Chains A and B, each alone.
Chain A
Amino acid sequence: MMKPDTSGGPWLRINTSPGVLFAAGALLFPAFLMQQDLVVRALQIVLFITFNAFSGRRVRPVQFLIVSTGIVLFNLVIPTGRVLVSVLGLPLTEGALKSGLFKATAMTGLIALSQFSIRSDLRLPGRLGGLIGRSLFYFEKIMGERRRIDRRDIIGSIDRLLLEVQGPAAPGTQAKAEGSTSTWSGVLALAVIVCVNWGALVVTLVHPRPFWG
């Protein structure tokens, strides 16, 4: 644990380590996926998107909206349950709408949750973790030099880049990245969020609430 860092940068990135964020994401994952109340799910998604902003991730609400609309529309194609309304002679059914909304919120919510809780500097333990670290080291080196790829000689320029990159060996241990340790305030914020989400799940399981009808 460290003292709170008051320097610039996204709050969540500065105050939480990749490992603690990963653990919080793993705890939030079942609490979100098992949530059956659509309104609570929508609130959870708003919370996850807010956390994305705090972690410096670019939030793309339009992309979420396009994906969600697509999923709902595809589910409406097959009518199931009570007809709510007819649009241009096509029945809009309750079962299909509920199913579409559940799947759309699951898709977008898990993406939002995953994006704030998984950081690219997360180092997984063990031999596989080491291999992933080395792969990302080379990936970052290539991406750092990508401007050198020449459109007039794509194959030749990529080949030269690969020959240069394969030279230096990947370091066994890497320098600590920004926010590689957690502060008390960061851990506390994540603990509160995890508890609130699990609390909401318990409440909605004990007192299920009908959405409509």
Chain B
Amino acid sequence: MIPKPIPFLRVGIANLPILLSLDLLPAPLLLLVVLLKVLGQGLIGGTLFSYVFLFSAVGSFASGLSMLLFRRLFGSRISLVGVGVLGALFSNTAQIVLARLLIFGEGAWLIAPPFLALGTVTAALLGAFADRFAARSQWLVSAREIG
């Protein structure tokens, strides 16, 4: 649905369910959602045997764990925008380190500034959307009741 500006670059829409699950699920179930997201993307995109899958897994778990940590530490004192931006910074840093090791070599540090900046902007936009969605959604209300 969303076009990719550069091949393999993702806007991060798939992180939306993770952001919304932060206040909904206990830590083990949240990490299970992260695992399902990574495996689902690998199956749909057909990237399970490639470095793309490895990057997705490392980035998703770095982001998921950091968002979980900050949300549990600061609770409602940190918005989903803040949590999302921190998650993106951890995710993108982990992916740059992996790119340095596997693909780009020392040249990876050259892409770090634009990659981190772009990731921060998209994460802030996604976090703002998640905040508004969480405030208005009837589906989330029903999900909380089921949980």
Contact = CB atoms under 8 A, between A and B. Distances in A.
Q: Using C-beta atoms within 8 Å of the partner chain, give the interface range for chain A.
A: 35 or more
Nearest to B39: A132
A155 B46 contact: no
B73 interface: no
A99 B138 CA distance: 53
A74 B46 contact: no
Contact of A118 (B42, B51, B110, B132): B42
Interface stretch (A86-94, A158-166, A197-205): A158-166
B44 to A, nearest CB: 5
A132 B40 contact: yes
B144 to A, nearest CB: 13
Tell me whether chain B's interface is mostly helix, strand or loop, or mixed. Answer: helix
Contact of A74 (B50, B107, B137, B142): B107
Nearest to B146: A166
Contacts of A44: none
A111 B107 contact: no
Interface residues of B, number: 38
Q: Is the interface of A mostly helix, strand, loop or mixed?
A: helix
A42 interface: no
Contacts of B138: 159, 163
Interface of B: 1, 7-8, 32, 35-36, 39-40, 42-53, 102-108, 110-111, 129, 132-133, 136-139, 142-143
The 4 A-B pairs of least Cβ separation, nearest first, read: A74-B107, A114-B49, A110-B50, A115-B46
18 contacts: A67-B8, A71-B103, A76-B107, A77-B106, A77-B110, A78-B106, A114-B50, A116-B46, A117-B46, A120-B43, A122-B43, A128-B35, A132-B39, A136-B43, A136-B44, A155-B132, A155-B136, A159-B137
